[in-house]
Amino acid sequence: MTNNKKFDTRLLGHRLRSYFSKPANIITIVFLVILALTVILPLCTLLLGSFQLNTIQEATSAGGKKGDFTLRHWARLLTSTEYDYAINSLWLPLGKSILMALLACFIAVVLGGVVAWFITRADIPGKKFISAVFVFPYIMPSWSIAIFWENFFKNTEMTAGPRNAGLLQMLTGICVPQSWIYGLVPCAICLGLHYAPFAYILIGGILRNMDANLEEAATVLGASRFKILCRVTLPIVAPALISTILLVFSSSISSYTVPFFLNKDGRFIALSVHLKNLFGDGRTQGQGYVMAILLMAISIGILTLNNWFTGKRKSFTTVTGKSGQVSLVKFGKWRIPIAILLLIIVGFIAIVPLFTFAMESVLRTNADGTRTFTMDYWFSKEVPTGSTKSDTLGILVSGTMWKALGRSLGLSVLVALIAGTSGLLIGYAVARKRGSRIATFVSDVAFLPYLIPAMSFGAVYLSLSFTEGFTWLRGSFILLILVGGVKFIPFASRTGSSAMLQLSGEIEEAAIMLNVPWWKRMARVLFPIQKASFISGYLLPFISCMRELSLFVLLTVSHETLLTTLLGEYSRTGLTESANAINLLIIIVVLVIQFAVNKLTGASIDKGVGG
Amino acid sequence: MKRLFAILLTVALIVSAVFVLASCKEKSEVELAIEAAEKMTLAELEAASKKEFEDNPDLVFNADSLTSGVKKGIAAFIKKYDWLNEDNAKYNSKKGSEYQPVLNGAAETDGYVADFVMIQDASFVYSLVNAGFLLSYVPSGEGYEIAKEDQDPLVGVTFNKIWYYNGENGTDYLKNVWQLTGKDGASLKKIDTVSYQSPLGEDINMSFLIMLTSPAYETQLKNSYKSYFGTEYTKTDDCQSIGYHYVEQFIKAVTTWHDSDTSEVKNMNDTAHKTGVYFAGLAKVKDYEGYKLPDDDPANWKKVLMGSGFNYQVEGFNGFVYNMWTLIPKTARCPYTACLFIRYLLSEEGFVKSFENVPGYYCSNTKCTPTDGTTLAKWKSSCLSEDPDYLAQNYDSVTAFIKQQLTAVGQSK
Amino acid sequence: MPKIILENVTKKFDKFIAVDNLSMVIDDRDFVILLGPSGCGKTTTLRMIAGLETPTEGRITIGDQVVFDSEKGINVSPGKRDIGFLFQNYALWPHMTVYQNIAFGLENLKWKKDQIRERVNEMLALLKIEQFEKRYPSELSGGQQQRVAIARTLAPSPKVLFMDEPLSNLDAKLRLEMRTELKRLHANTDSTFVYVTHDQLEAMTLATKVCLLDTGVLQQYDPPLVVYNKPNNLFVADFVGNPTMNFIKGKAEIKGNTAKINMLGATFTFSADGDIAPVLPAADENADNSGGADVVVGIRPEFIRVEQGKLTGKVYTTLPSGMETTVKLELGDEIITSVVFGSVDYPVNSDVSFEIVGNGIVLFDAASRSKIAMGSLTIE
C-alpha cells in the first residue's frame, strides 16, 4: 500500500517534471495564473457588483448595508415600469445602439470591401498610395473622426454645439442640417469610416490570398464579371465579411467616444454613453455593472457566432495555386476617373481630418463670430484666465503638455512591451500545444479584455486599487501600465497566434536538435522569421494605448497625467482650438511612429489585425 | 442594596469607559487633527502644516476639484508658504461623474484619495459626510463668519444657475417662470429659444428639476401659475403635483439642450440667438465674450451684469442656488495643511485670488462680500435650493420621470 | 476544326520577358504538351491562349476566330473562346457542391434545368463520381477533387481543353492512374488538349506533340519520340529522358558526313545520317583549337552496352530499380550512365568494359549547343 503510494507520487513528480520541461507548458500555466488574476477576477467582480449593494448611496437607498445581496439592479434596469424606466434606460438605447452598430458595419464593409476589391482586382493607378493612406482612419483615434465630422460640417445654422462655420460652409456656404452632424446616423458614419480600413485589411487580405484560379475558372466557363462577383468571389470572402461585420458590430456597440462626442444636441444616447453615466453616479453603479455585463454578453455572443462561422468553413481560405498571376479587371478609359474617385474618398476620410484639425487650431473665433488666423494655440506663452486649466495657451510651449506627452509615450511603450510579449508567448503556447484544451482556454481568456467595455474595466481596477493589499497601486503609474497591458493583450495574442501558427513546428525542432536553449530559439529563430508580424503585435497595443482615454480616466490622479486626459480637460473647459492642436499632435505622433516602425522593420498594423 | 448600587455603578463605569474608549477609537487621526486645528491660531496652524512636510518630505498635498478656482487658490497658497511648492501641492481637475466612483471607492475602503476636495451634488456629498468619510474644518476667528447651516458640512462656495438673456431685450423679457412652459406658443411669450443643459450630463441641472417636484415649492409655483394664467392650478393631467407638471411642460419648451454652459453663454451675443433664455451659472458671465471687460475694476462687472439681462424678480423663482463643499477626506495625509488651505480659500485674500471677484461665486464666509452688487441673500430668497434629503429619497423615482419626459421629446443626452 | 495558331506572341511582365516571340500551330485533336522547367513561360503561354493573360504582342487564332491581335486590338474574353481550363489546384468552388460546381458552366450557357441535370449526370458517370454529387469539395480526396474539376471542365464540351499541371498535386500512384484516364479521355472526347507540365515523363507518355520551352523561347516542337530521339539542342536532350543522356566532350575533325572524334581517351569515327552542319568558331579566341572543333557527343544510356567492347570504366555506383539497372561508370573525368535490363550488381570500383552502340548518337556543337548531326559511332 505505502509502496504503491510512493510509486504514485514519484510518477506524478516525473510527470510534472516532464510537463514543465516544455517551455510551452510553463507559459500556458503561467499565463493561466496571470490571466485568472487580471481578467477572470475582474470579470467576477463585475458579476458580483451586479448582485450587491456597491456604494454607500445604493445602500442608503435600498435600506441595507454595503455588500448585501440584491437583485434590484437587474430588476430595475431590465424590468422597471416606473415611468417606463427600463424602456427609456435600457431597451430604447439598446435598440438604437444596435441600429447604429448595424449601420456602421454596413458602411465599413461596403466601403472597405469596395476599396479592397479595386486595390486587388482592378488595373487602376495609384494603388500603393490609396492603400497606404486608407488605413489612416484606423490608426487615428476613433473620436478624431468624430471631431473631424463636426469640424467639417458645423455651421452657423446649428442650434447646438459650436455654431461657427466649418470647412464645408467656409468653402461652399452650404449648411447641412444638424441631424447630419449629431445623432445616430453621423455616429454610425464616423464609426463606419473608422472601421472601413479594418474591413479593407481583412477583406483585402482574403482577396489577395484567395486563389485567383477560382475566379478564372468561372471566367473560362463564360460567367460574367458580375456573376463571378456574386456567385464566386462574395461567397468565398463571406467568412471574412461576416468576421468583419461581427467585429465591427461589437466594437461599435461598445464604442464610447464617438457617440459621446456626436451627441451635442442630445438626440441620441448610445448604450455605452449610458453605461458611463450609470457608472459615474454612486446611486446607479450597480446598474452600470448590469449594463457592462449585457454589453459583454452581446459581444461574446457575436464572437461565438463568428467562431462558429469561420470554424465551420475554414476550408474557404485556400492559399495555394498560382495566385500571383491575378489578371486585373481592365477599366480602360474609366481607370483614371475611378482612381480619382477613390483618391477623393480616401482623401476625405484620411487627409481632410488632419487638415481640419490644423485649421481649427489656428483660427480664433472672435466675439462677433468671425474667425481670424492665429498661432497662439500652438506657441503663445500667455496664461489664459477663465476656466482654462493649462499653464500656457500654446500647447507647444506648455511644460504640462510635454510632460503629459512624455508620460503617454512611456506608458504606451511599456504597455506595448507587456502586451506584445505576452501575446507572443501566448501565441507560442497556442501554436505548440495546438488543440490542447488548456492552451485554447488561455487564448480565449486572453481575448476577453477586448470585450469588456473600457470604462467598466477601469472601474474594476479602480476598486482593486482600494482593496487591502493593493492600495499601493492607487493612483500609481504601475496601475496604468497593468490595466493597459491587460486590456491590449487581445490584439497582441491574436497577432502572435496567427504568426506562430504559420511557422511550422519543424523550424523550432531543427533548433532543438542543435540543443539551442528555448530563449535563444525564440530570439534567434522564431522571432526573426515572423519579425514583421510580431512587431505588429507590439505596434497595435502601442497605438491603441496612445489614444485611449476611457480606460484611464478613472485611474489617473491628475488630469495632467496623460495626453488624452489633458485633451479631455481642454475640451471640457471650452478651449477647443488647443484641443484640436493636441489631437493633431497625437495623430502625428502615432503616424510618425507607425511609419518609422514600418520602414525599419516592415511591420504594419494591417499585418497585426487578426480579428 | 449598597452592594447592588455598587455593582450598578461598576457596570455603568465599565460601560461608559467602553463607550469612551470606543468613541476614542472611532475618531480617526484626521478627525483629531481637525479638532485640534479648529482650536489653533493661524500661526499654530501654519506651524502644524509646516511640521507635516518637515516630518515627511515626500508628502504631497492633493486638492481635487471640478472648479479651477482651486487651481488658482493653490497657486496663491504656494506663494504664501515657503514649505509648499508646485511639486508638493497639486490641483487635480475632477469631473463629477468621473470622480464619484473614486471617492466612493476611497470611502468604502478607507483609502487615500486626496487631502482636500471641493465638490458639488448635495445628496452625494451628504452620503459621504454621513458615512463619516468627508470631514469639515470650520475656520473661525477674525475675518471669518460662517453661518451655522453652512458649517456641517462646510460649504465653500455657493453658486447659482439663473435664467438669463441678452440685456438688449429689456428687464421685463422674462417675468414669470410659466413663460418657459408650453411650446405651443400660448404661454411662451416673446421668447424664441430656451437653452438648458441636459440633466443627464449635468448633475446640478438634474438636482434642479428634482427639487422642482418638492412639496416645499408647491405654493410658489401655484402662485406664479395663478399670476400668469389668471386661474388656479387644477390637476388636469397624470402629473402628481404642480411641480411634476412644471417639469413636464418645461422640458417640452426647451428648444436647445446645450452641451456646456460656458460655450452656450457666449452665444447670447450672437444676433442670431438674441431672443433666447438661457439657464446657466451667473459665474459664467465671465465667459460672455461680448461683455468681456478688464476684471480688476469691480465697477465694470456691474456694467456686464446690466448688459446681460436677468432680474431678481422672476415670478416663481429666479433659478437654483447650490453649494460646493470644501471638505477633508478622513484618509487625508496632511490634514493640517488641508485646514490651512481651507482657511486660506475662505479668507478675503484667498477668495479673491481664487475666484477673482467674478459675480456668481459666493463665499460661505460672509466677511467676503461680493463686490459686484449682487448678494447671495437675494438669490437664496428668490431661487430654489438643494435639499439633500429630498434629493436622496426621490432620486430614483423622479429621475425616471424626467427620463421619461426627455425621451418623449427625443432628448437623451 | 479548331486549329490554334500563335504568331509572334510575346509576353512581358515589366522588364521580364516571359514568352519571347513564340509561333506555333496546334492542330485539331492534338494533345500538345507545353514542357519546360519552372519559369520557362509554359503556363503563361497556356493562359494567353485561354485568354486569362493578355499578350504584349502577337496574334492568337482559335479555329476561324482571331481571339487576340495586339495590332487590331482584338481580345476575346475567355468565356467566349469555347475552351475549358483545368487548374493545377483544381480551383473548385468550396461553397458549391459537386453538382453545383459542374452545373455552373452550363448555367452560363443558359441551358435548361433538366438538360443540365442530364449532362451533369453524364459527366458524373464518365468520371465515376456519382456518389459524391452532394458533397462539398473539402469533403473529397485529392483524386476525387481532380475528377470533379475535370467533369466541370468537360461539361460544356469545350473544343479545346487547357490543363495546367493537373496531376502535380496527386500522389505518384494516383498520377499514373489519372494519366491513363486523361489519355483515354482525349481519345473519347474529340477535343484538342493543351497541357502544361514540367514532368518530361508525363509529356512523353501523353502527348501527340511536345512543345519544349526554355526562358520563354521555343526549343523544339515535335512528337515526343522525335524530341527524345532527335533533340534539337543540348537543352532538349538534357531535359528529356531519364536517366539523362550522356554528354561527352570531345574534339572533332569533320570531313563531309564523317568526323573523327577524340574523347574518353580514344578516337572514334562518327558516321552521320546526313550532312554535318557547320560548327561555330569557339567564342573564346584563345581556346585551344588544335585537334579539331569542340563538340559534345550525346549518347542515350540505352546505347551504352556494358561487359562488352574495348572501353573500360570503373564502377562508380549501381542503381537497380527492378526492371532495369542504372550503372554509372567513371572514365577519366567523365561519368557515363548506362541502363541495363534486369537486375545486376557490380562492386564499387570494379572495372567493367563497355561499348557505344546504335545509330541514335547525337553530335552537338559545344559553342552553339545545337545539334549538328545524328549518326553512329565506331571506335578505332
Write the pLDDT tens digit of every residue in B189-210. Answer: 677 788 888 888 788 999 999 9
Residues C103, C194 within the same domain: yes
Q: Tell me, what's the pLDDT at B330?
A: 94
Q: Tell me which residue range forms the domain holding C82.
A: 4-239
Residues C204, C70 within the same domain: yes
pLDDT tens digits along A178-205: 889 888 999 999 999 998 988 888 788 7
Say if the Cβ atoms of A569 and B93 lie within 8 Å. Answer: yes
C contact chains, 3+ CB pairs < 8 A: A
Mean pLDDT of A601-607: 67
Instruction: Tell me how many degrees the CA angle B280-B281-B287 measures, rounded to the nearest 5.
Output: 90
Contact C219, C210 (CB under 8 A): no
Would you say residue B371 has pLDDT above 80?
A: no
Would you say residue C87 has pLDDT above 60?
A: yes
CB contacts, 8 Å: A235 with chain C:
93, 95
Instruction: Say which CATH number the domain at B164 has.
Output: 3.40.190.10
Would you say residue A388 has pLDDT above 50?
A: no
pLDDT tens digits along A428-446: 888 887 777 888 888 888 8
Q: Tell me, what's the pLDDT at B59?
A: 92
CB contacts, 8 Å: A222 with chain C:
79-80, 105, 108-109, 156
Residues B229, B355 within the same domain: no
Q: Which of A222, A315, A325 is facing C108, going by the closest CB pair?
A: A222
Contact A185, A102 (CB under 8 A): no
Q: Tell me, what's the pLDDT at B245?
A: 93
Q: Where are the alpha helices (DSSP H) in A69-91?
A: 72-79, 85-86
Q: Which of B91, B104, B260 to mutate to test the interface with A (most CBs of A within 10 A)?
A: B104
Mean pLDDT of A134-138: 85
Instruction: Say which CATH number the domain at C327 has.
Output: 2.40.50.140
Convert C109-127 to b/e letters by CB count within 10 Å (16 or more is b): eebeeeebeebbeebbebb
Gap between the Cα atoms of C18 and B111, Å rounded: 75
Residues B266, B153 within the same domain: no
Gap between the Cα atoms of A79 and A90, Å rounded: 9
Distance from CA of A263 to the nearest CA of B (A): 7
Q: Tell me, what's the pLDDT at A385?
A: 54
Q: Tell me, what's the pLDDT at A315?
A: 42
Q: Tell me, what's the pLDDT at C41?
A: 87
B200 falls within a domain: yes
Say if the Cβ atoms of B392 and A60 lie within 8 Å. Answer: yes
Q: Tell me, what's the pLDDT at C189?
A: 81
Is any Cβ of chain B less than 8 angstroms from the Cβ of A61? Answer: yes
Residues C224, C271 within the same domain: no
Say if the Cβ atoms of A213 and C91 lie within 8 Å. Answer: yes
B379 falls within a domain: no
Instruction: Please report, rounded to a whole number, the percentage of residues in chain A having pLDDT higher than 70.
Output: 92
* Selection from A239-248, B334-343, C120-129 with the highest mean pLDDT: B334-343
Residues C56, C198 within the same domain: yes
* The total number of structural domains that make up chain C: 2
Gap between the Cα atoms of B224 and C256, Å rounded: 134
Q: Tell me, what's the pLDDT at A310?
A: 62
Question: CA of C63: how far to CAs of C5, C50, C70, C73, C159, in Å?
Answer: 8, 13, 18, 19, 10
Which grid cell is C324?
Answer: 532495369
Say if the Cβ atoms of A316 and C95 lie within 8 Å. Answer: yes
pLDDT category at B224 given cuts 50, 70, 90 is very high
Contact A105, A245 (CB under 8 A): yes
Which grid cell is B247?
Answer: 417639469
Gap between the Cα atoms of B251 and B243, Å rounded: 12
Average pLDDT of the residues of chain B? 83
CB contacts, 8 Å: A219 with chain C:
51-52, 77-79
Gap between the Cα atoms of C102 and A111, Å rounded: 33
Is any Cβ of chain B less than 8 angstroms from the Cβ of A72? Answer: no
pLDDT category at B26 given cuts 50, 70, 90 is low
pLDDT category at B45 given cuts 50, 70, 90 is very high
Residues B305, B228 within the same domain: yes
Q: Tell me, what's the pLDDT at A321?
A: 40
- Of the candidate ranges A239-243, B184-188, C301-305, the one whose mean pLDDT is the lowest: B184-188
CB contacts, 8 Å: C152 with chain A:
217, 221
Residues B55, B162 within the same domain: no
Residues C234, C359 within the same domain: no
Contact A286, A49 (CB under 8 A): yes
Would you say residue C286 has pLDDT above 70?
A: no
Say if the Cβ atoms of C152 and A321 lie within 8 Å. Answer: no
Distance from CA of B43 to the nearest CA of A (A): 31
B10 falls within a domain: no
Would you say residue C65 has pLDDT above 60?
A: yes
Q: Which of residues 13-52 of B touch A (CB under 8 A)?
A: none
Average pLDDT of the residues of chain C? 87
Q: Among C183, C205, C239, where does a domain finish? A: C239
Q: Tell me, what's the pLDDT at A319?
A: 38
Q: Which residues of C touch A (CB under 8 A)?
A: 43, 47, 50-54, 77-80, 83-85, 87-89, 91, 93-95, 104-105, 108-109, 136-138, 152, 156, 164
Distance from CA of A223 to the nearest CA of C (A): 6
pLDDT tens digits along B95-130: 777 888 889 888 888 888 999 999 998 989 999 999
Q: Which of A221, A224, A316 is facing C104, going by the closest CB pair?
A: A221
B150 falls within a domain: yes
Q: Which of residues 496-535 of A touch B (CB under 8 A)?
A: none
Mean pLDDT of C331-342: 88
Residues B84, B148 within the same domain: yes
Contact A76, B403 (CB under 8 A): no
Residues 6 or more apart whose Cβ sits within 8 Å of residue A46? A289, A292, A293, A296, A452, A456, A460
Q: Among C239, C254, C272, where does a domain finish? A: C239
pLDDT category at B10 given cuts 50, 70, 90 is low
Gap between the Cα atoms of A384 and A378, Å rounded: 13
The dihedral sign for the CA sequence A76, A77, A80, A81:
positive
Which grid cell is B197?
Answer: 443643459
Residues C187, C113 within the same domain: yes
B21 falls within a domain: no
A215 to chain C: closest CA residue = C91
Fold classified for A71-316+330-360: MetI-like fold (1.10.3720)
Which grid cell is A144?
Answer: 478624431
Would you say residue B342 has pLDDT above 90?
A: yes
pTM: 0.79
B79 falls within a domain: yes
CATH of region A23-49+374-611: 1.10.3720.10
Residues C19, C98 within the same domain: yes
Q: Which of residues 255-294 of B touch A (CB under 8 A)?
A: 255-260, 262-263, 267, 269-270, 272, 286-287, 289-290, 292
Question: Which residue's entry shows cell 485589411?
Answer: A201
Tell me, yes or no, whether chains B and C touch by having 3 or more C-beta pairs under 8 A. Answer: no
Mean pLDDT of A357-365: 82
* Domain segments of chain A as ranges: 23-49+374-611, 71-316+330-360
Q: Which of A92, A156, A557 is facing B92, going by the closest CB pair?
A: A557
Is any Cβ of chain A less than 8 angstroms from the Cβ of B71? Answer: yes
C157 to chain A: closest CA residue = A221
* The total number of structural domains that make up chain B: 2
Q: Which of residues 7-46 of A touch B (CB under 8 A)?
A: none
Q: Tell me, what's the pLDDT at A316?
A: 42
Would you say residue B161 has pLDDT above 60?
A: yes
Residues B177, B297 within the same domain: yes
Residues C188, C254 within the same domain: no
Residues C231, C279 within the same domain: no
CB contacts, 8 Å: A265 with chain B:
256-257, 413
Residues C234, C250 within the same domain: no
Residues C222, C264 within the same domain: no
Gap between the Cα atoms of C376 and A495, Å rounded: 67
- Of the candidate ranges A74-78, A413-417, C11-15, C206-210, the one whose mean pLDDT is the lowest: C11-15
Tell me, yes or no, whether chains A and C touch by having 3 or more C-beta pairs under 8 A. Answer: yes
Q: Which of B112, B258, B404 is facing A474, going by the closest CB pair?
A: B112
CB contacts, 8 Å: C88 with chain A:
213, 321-322
Residue A486's nearest CA partner among A538, A429, A436, A446 is A446
B380 falls within a domain: no
B296 falls within a domain: yes
Residues C353, C275 within the same domain: yes
A contact chains, 3+ CB pairs < 8 A: B, C
Distance from CA of A561 to the nearest CA of B (A): 10
Q: Tell me, what's the pLDDT at A610?
A: 37
pLDDT tens digits along A308-349: 766 554 444 443 444 445 567 777 788 888 889 989 988 888
pLDDT tens digits along A227-277: 888 888 888 777 777 777 877 888 888 888 888 888 877 778 888 888 888
Mean pLDDT of C337-354: 88
Instruction: Please report, rounded to a whole number, the percentage of residues in chain A having pLDDT higher than 90.
Output: 12
CB contacts, 8 Å: C138 with chain A:
315
Is any Cβ of chain B less than 8 angstroms from the Cβ of A264? Answer: yes
Q: Tell me, what's the pLDDT at A5?
A: 54
pLDDT category at A1 given cuts 50, 70, 90 is very low
Q: Which of A218, A236, A325 is facing C94, going by the closest CB pair?
A: A236
How many residues make up chain B in this entry? 413
Q: Tell me, what's the pLDDT at B311?
A: 67
pLDDT tens digits along B378-401: 888 889 999 999 998 899 899 999
Query: Tell me, what's the ipTM?
Result: 0.82
B267 to chain A: closest CA residue = A163
Residues B300, B394 within the same domain: yes
Instruction: Say which CATH number the domain at C132 has.
Output: 3.40.50.300
Which residues is C319 bridged to in the sheet?
A: C326
Q: Tell me which residue range forms the domain holding B64.
A: 29-157+323-369
Average pLDDT of the residues of chain A? 82
Which amino acid, residue A351?
A: I
